[in-house]
Chain A
Amino acid sequence: DAGITQSPRYKITETGRQVTLMCHQTWSHSYMFWYRQDLGHGLRLIYYSAAADITDKGEVPDGYVVSRSKTENFPLTLESATRSQTSVYFCASTDRNPNQPQHFGDGTRLSIL
């Protein structure tokens, strides 16, 4: 199906573990983004990518790593998870930037115990 999909939808892990959240889009959009949503903060940008092999930091990048070897995939890795990274994570994409609507996945709810 066309669109943007995130996996897993729910994940529970322990502090110190590495966890990777997946994002896949079928539109061949150039731009992809990772956000986290926390109460009282709306959505905050973690990392974004303008094209394959081009990534840059957003507002809250510490503790996260991204890669973009293929246009359609943009995984987000927490190398050593901490409780403060418990959040809902959203991936988004757009074909042109700036000032174009981004299309969001349905999110991954991550709990770190």
Chain B
Amino acid sequence: DQQVKQNSPSLSVQEGRISILNCDYTNSMFDYFLWYKKYPAEGPTFLISISSIKDKNEDGRFTVFLNKSAKHLSLHIVPSQPGDSAVYFCAPSGTGGTSYGKLTFGQGTILTVHP
């Protein structure tokens, strides 16, 4: 039973356009949501996060939106650049229950940005 789902295994966009990566979760104990980016042969690196008390967090070209009622979040990258090509993981965590202090990763979405 996967608590975190990234239903798009891959996404291909043109340089300069918007990339939208989606993530759905089922565990209502999640209250903090992180996005990680991963290049081949490297470890994941933290990208951006959002607390459940917010519905939007922005950092430069990256914006994360959270819809708690739908248990859905999305990462927007605009404008997309070829260097953004990587695997993106959604990773919620929680402060209660069995999710306390633990990240639960989605399966990842491979983003390819074409020049």
Residues of A whose CB lies within 8 Å of any CB of B are 4, 31, 33, 35, 40-45, 48, 50, 58-59, 90, 92, 97-99, 101-107
Contact = CB atoms under 8 A, between A and B. Distances in A.
B100 to A, nearest CB: 6
A97 B101 contact: yes
B101 A98 contact: yes
B43 A104 contact: yes
Nearest to B96: A98
Contacts of A42: 4, 6, 89, 105-108
B95 interface: yes
A104 B102 CA distance: 14
Contacts of B106: 42
Contact of A43 (B46, B93, B105): B105
A102 B89 contact: no
B49 interface: yes
A22 to B, nearest CB: 15
Contacts of B41: 106-107
B96 to A, nearest CB: 9
Contacts of B93: 98-99
Given A98-B95, A99-B95, A45 B43 contact: no
A36 to B, nearest CB: 11
Give 7 closest A-B pairs by Cβ, nearest first: A104-B43, A42-B105, A101-B46, A98-B101, A99-B32, A43-B105, A97-B101
A106 B100 contact: no
B44 A45 contact: no
A105 B43 contact: yes
B45 interface: yes
A11 to B, nearest CB: 15
A42 B82 CA distance: 23
Contacts of B105: 35, 42-44
A101 B107 contact: no
A33 B102 CA distance: 9
